[in-house]
Amino acid sequence: MADDKERFLRLGETVMGMMEYLRGLLLDLPIPVVLPELLAGGSPDPEAVLALDRARDLLEAEPIPGQHQTALEHLILNWFIAYEMLVLRTMAGPAAWRLDAAEHAIRSFTTIAEMIESGELEDDES
């Protein structure tokens, strides 16, 4: 049980870092999208989560290549998967599959983020 709690806390820190990364990416867009901080007063702010969902809709208006839009949307969706699995673990109790699913989403997020950072998506606008 202690291992589950440690794993949960480590994944929670990672998800917080993912949100900060997303906030930076969205702020750097040609039409900046500003998101509030996820933690307000020490607990997750539901408005920040809703703002991230609204940001998905705003991506369509961004003058960026379609692959980049899709990559950003997938980053957001992977963040939601990881975040929601951690919320579910908090509400429904420990289950290894919930943390496994969060880790899977984190790995997908990381892969896409590395593609964005390397410029791999910028070269192909097809």
- For 12-79, give the DSSP string: HHHHHHHHHHHHHHHHTSSS------SEETTEE-HHHHHHHHHHHHHGGGS-S-HHHHHHHHHHHHHH
pLDDT at position 1 is 60
Question: What pTM was computed for the model?
Answer: 0.90
Q: Helix 66-92 vs helix 96-118: angle between axes, to the nearest 10 degrees?
A: 160
Report which secondary-structure segment, H or E, holds 98. helix 96-118
Distance of CA 59 to the CA centre of its chain: 15
Residue 35's CB: how many other CB atoms inside 10 A? 19
Residues in the chain: 126
Over residues 30-45, the pLDDT tens digits come to 999 999 888 766 667 7
Q: What percentage of the chain reaches a pLDDT higher than 90? A: 78
Q: Is the CB of residue 38 less than 8 Å from the CB of residue 48? A: yes
pLDDT at position 111 is 98
The structure tokens 């097809």 sit at: 126
List the one residue out of 49, 42, 44, 41 whose CA is nearest residue 23: 49
pLDDT at position 126 is 44
